[in-house]
A and B are shown apart, each in its own frame.
Chain A
Amino acid sequence: MIELTGLAKSYGRARAVDGMDLTIERGQTVALLGPNGAGKSTTIGMMLGLVEPDSGRARVAGLDPVQAVRQGKVGAMLQEGRLIERVTVRELVGCVAGTYPAPMPVGHALELAGLDGLGGRRADRLSGGQVQRVRFAMALVGDPELIVLDEPTAALDVRARQGFWTGMRAFAERGRTVLFSTHYLEEADEQADRVVVIARGRVIADGTSAEIKNVVGGSTVAVDMKELTAAELAELPGVVQVEIRNERARLHTRDADATVMALAGARAVHNLEVTGVDLESAFLALTEVA
């Protein structure tokens, strides 16, 4: 459904997206997870034909992104954006529906987005959470094959988030492809079939949320390298990744206890150090490797 090959985009000297390769199958719900400034929005902009890549290629539904959008295969909820004045919610969502070849009934879209009963309200007189839901309704009302949501929950409180994800899952269950970006690990974990971690404009990890958590959510065990080779260290229980620097090994592990026990069994404990990894430092560690 989405195919990115060697996609790159710079703004001045800053490389926003730096050689992105990514393929997303039809029907998947995929999270694009990364810290602020990782290149998520720029990547999404190129998928939607809003941003012209410097090099590489983006294809959506087998088409150039601009063509895919023109043919109504894509719906998008962009970051930020207020709603226009002097129209009702129903008029606004209905206007967007009218641009698609085979939209769903406006009432159905309002329901999926959790806007039942608000159709007659003026769009410029809604709360922040309601505005977000209207923007979600505009993304899905065309019943496109793919919806792209750029940080859809950034402005929402916990309860509004839950409501939002319920609507998103209901849409995905229609067999549609959903791609959303977030910088919350829990959201990616709970909502996506597949998590693509990006940092500094590159894909640094890609898999199910369980696989990703093993990489970014575990602990780091550091020891001086003496008895064991890098390959042997990588075989230790729990270890998912090995970094070697200055004769010191940093083992990313999902089970620090098991890893330490195994090191001890091999009499390889020298200057042992165990640290928990928070998301931000895991990203940094991963990008240094990448």
Chain B
Amino acid sequence: MLGYIGLELRRTVRDGGYMVIAITLPVAMYLIFSSLGLIDEDGGLYMLVAMAAFGASGAAFNNGSGVAEDAAVGWLRQLRVTPLGPVQVVVSRAVVGMLVVLPAVVAVLTVGGLVKGVELAPWQWLSIGTLLWLGVAPIVLFALGNGFLLSGKAAPLANSVLNLALAILGGLWLPTSDFPGWMATLASWTPTNRYAELSWDIVLGGSPSAMAFAVLGGWLVIFCGYAVFGYRRARLS
């Protein structure tokens, strides 16, 4: 299983073009949004978390799409005739997903601290770093399920659209406080919104709500089942 995780990690890291975009896009968007005149200090903190979350979510969805491409070339079928079991394949791929989100999170937070001069207590940096990393797990599993169930062409498309839709609806581009009432309610049920909310609460001087953990935990369970179901039903060629 470790060998498989290592192999998939190397494949992602070696995709130089992808790595540059995956890191540059959220950093650039953070720099642009946080430098707009109408953004105050809290707005800057909001954008720091939002863009780190957006970068992580993008990497998670990309990891899921990679699985569909593996299925298309017959790699998943090859894995199925090795001793690696379904749960091990899903877990390995989820671990890979959890690791490939890290560069974007680290890059945005580093740029925030070093370039934009964001000042947070060490425990705050540590907390948001951890939460922005681990909180992305439901999204990693959701993207994996899509990758297993959809074709090599459909999965990247679906995952890109979902990435944007969940980012916008989850308030990663514009705060949900600017949304009409019904949309704000809907937003509060998205995994992206609750995922970022954990860290927003910390940087804006509070602590994460139990509700945020509950909603995110619910999605984690659902998408975990979805990913395993997806692998069992996966298109093998």
Contact = CB atoms under 8 A, between A and B. Distances in A.
B237 A80 contact: yes
Describe B's contact surface by its main secondary structure: helix
A99 B80 contact: no
A87 B80 CA distance: 19
Interface string B191-232: 000000000000000000000000000000000000000000
A70 B237 contact: no
A86 B11 contact: yes
Contacts of B15: 86
B7 A92 contact: yes
Interface residues of B, number: 24
B83 A138 contact: no
A83 B73 contact: yes
A91 B9 CA distance: 12
B78 interface: yes
Interface stretch (A17-25, A29-37, A71-79, A199-207): A71-79
A142 B78 contact: no
Contacts of A86: 10-11, 14-15
Contacts of A82: 73-74
A282 to B, nearest CB: 31
A79 to B, nearest CB: 9
A48 B3 contact: no
Interface string A58-93: 000000000001111011101011111111000110
Interface residues of A, number: 32
Contact of A81 (B1, B4, B74): B74
Contacts of A92: 7
A170 to B, nearest CB: 21
A50 B236 contact: yes
B2 interface: yes
B11 A85 contact: yes
The DSSP consensus for interface residues of chain A is loop
B77 interface: yes
B39 interface: no
Contacts of B113: none
Contacts of A98: 2-4
A99 B84 contact: yes
B177 interface: no
A85 B1 CA distance: 19
B81 interface: yes
B83 A78 contact: no
A207 B77 CA distance: 32
B3 A84 contact: no
A71 B82 CA distance: 9
B80 A138 contact: no
A94 interface: yes
B75 interface: yes
A75 B81 contact: yes
B70 A84 contact: yes
A84 B81 contact: no
A101 interface: yes
B183 to A, nearest CB: 40
A78 B74 contact: yes
A234 interface: no
A2 interface: no
Given A69-B83, A86-B15, A99 B10 contact: no
A49 B82 CA distance: 11
B119 to A, nearest CB: 40
Contacts of A142: 82-83
Nearest to A88: B10
Interface centre among A71, A76, A95, by most chain B C-beta atoms within 10 angstroms, is A95
Contact of A50 (B2, B7, B81, B85): B81
A69 B82 contact: yes
Q: Which 9 residue pairs of A and B lie closest in terms of their CB atoms, listed nearest first?
A: A81-B74, A98-B3, A76-B81, A82-B73, A99-B82, A86-B14, A95-B7, A72-B83, A86-B11
Given A50-B81, A97-B3, A99-B83, 5 more contacts: A71-B83, A78-B74, A85-B11, A94-B3, A95-B3
Interface of A: 48-50, 69-72, 74-76, 78, 80-87, 91-92, 94-101, 135, 138, 142
27 contacts: A50-B80, A69-B81, A78-B78, A80-B74, A81-B73, A81-B74, A81-B75, A81-B77, A82-B73, A82-B74, A84-B70, A84-B73, A84-B75, A85-B11, A86-B10, A86-B11, A87-B7, A87-B11, A94-B3, A95-B4, A95-B7, A96-B78, A96-B82, A99-B4, A99-B82, A138-B78, A142-B83
